[in-house]
Chain A
Amino acid sequence: MSTATTALNKLIEAARLDADHVFSAPWEARAFAIALKLSEAGHFSWDEFRDRLIAEVGASDRIRARDGTSDYGEYYEHFLHALERLLDEKGIAR
């Protein structure tokens, strides 16, 4: 509990210092926009993408729950993995 609390406090503090930035690196913004654009163009539905994202996040959560480690904003790495996986499954980026 105390580990999780400390982790959340750090993230809250970071958000307060940097309230207006929704992306912490340019590649995060581009990965997000690519996924949204392809979804809007009908190459896949956002629900299909979200299913892969939930799988990536869930796998990471299970490791954290087991090892007691905390996360520091690796969300977009999961996001990118989910996007790559979906594009591969659909044969879109070959």
Chain B
Amino acid sequence: MSGDHHNTDDTGPAARVKALEAILTEKGLIDSAAIDAIVDIYETRVGPRNGARVVAKAWTDPAYRKRLLANATSAVAELGFAGPEGEHLVAVENTDRVHNLIVCTLCSCYPWPVLGLPPVWYKSFAYRSRAVSDPRGVLKDFGLELAPEVEVRVWDSSAAIRYLVIPERPKGTEGMSEDALAAIVTRDSMVGVAKIAAPTSRRGGSAPARA
């Protein structure tokens, strides 16, 4: 933000939110504890770790993968993940021939129960305006270049539906447990802007993978 924005005076967003919270509290419509609780849920408890568990289970349990692709809302609910923006969830699977990418061209629709709230770039004009018209260009910005024969499918979440990408399971992960697999699944891979790199040799011990 430039210094021309007078965000510290009483017309700035922080002051407006404070005033709004005060008046709504006074009217008995909200209370600080309830607001604190929601902030805590979305800052610390709902996030891409949930989606990573879904993906890891789909990779290791063929029956679960089938249920996830047939009805993602009920399949993620099996793992305890449900809530706003997850009512009509669809899982789309990446293969060596198809790469899926999700966007919300109109605003910011995103599968909260499995990925949490979207990152800044997902809500940006730069991403929203180009994901449909130039998906390969957008993926290049993320450092992902797909072979020309790979079909790119872009899913626009602007209707009631939210999407989750099931990334490709990297080679070299055959012996890994579901928990270990969940640890390598990234948020970006579940939006479709990244692939998951094959883990480097694990013989050196149990050092955690770095993002």
Instruction: Show the binding face of B for A, using Cβ within 8 Å.
Output: 13-14, 16-18, 20-21, 23-24, 27, 29-30, 34-36, 38-39, 42-43, 47, 84-85, 106-109, 116-121, 123-130, 134, 137-138, 141-142, 187, 211
Contacts and interface: CB of A to CB of B under 8 A. Distances in A.
Nearest to A9: B141
Interface in A20-45: 22-34, 36-41, 43
A4 B137 CA distance: 11
A4 B123 contact: no
Interface size on A, as a range, is: 35 or more
Given A27-B18, A30-B35, A54-B106, A38 B124 contact: no
A36 B38 contact: yes
B14 A34 contact: no
Contacts of A14: 120-121
B16 A80 contact: yes
Residue of B39, B108, B137 most packed against chain A (CB within 10 A): B39
B10 to A, nearest CB: 13
B17 A30 contact: yes
A83 B108 CA distance: 15
Nearest to A36: B38
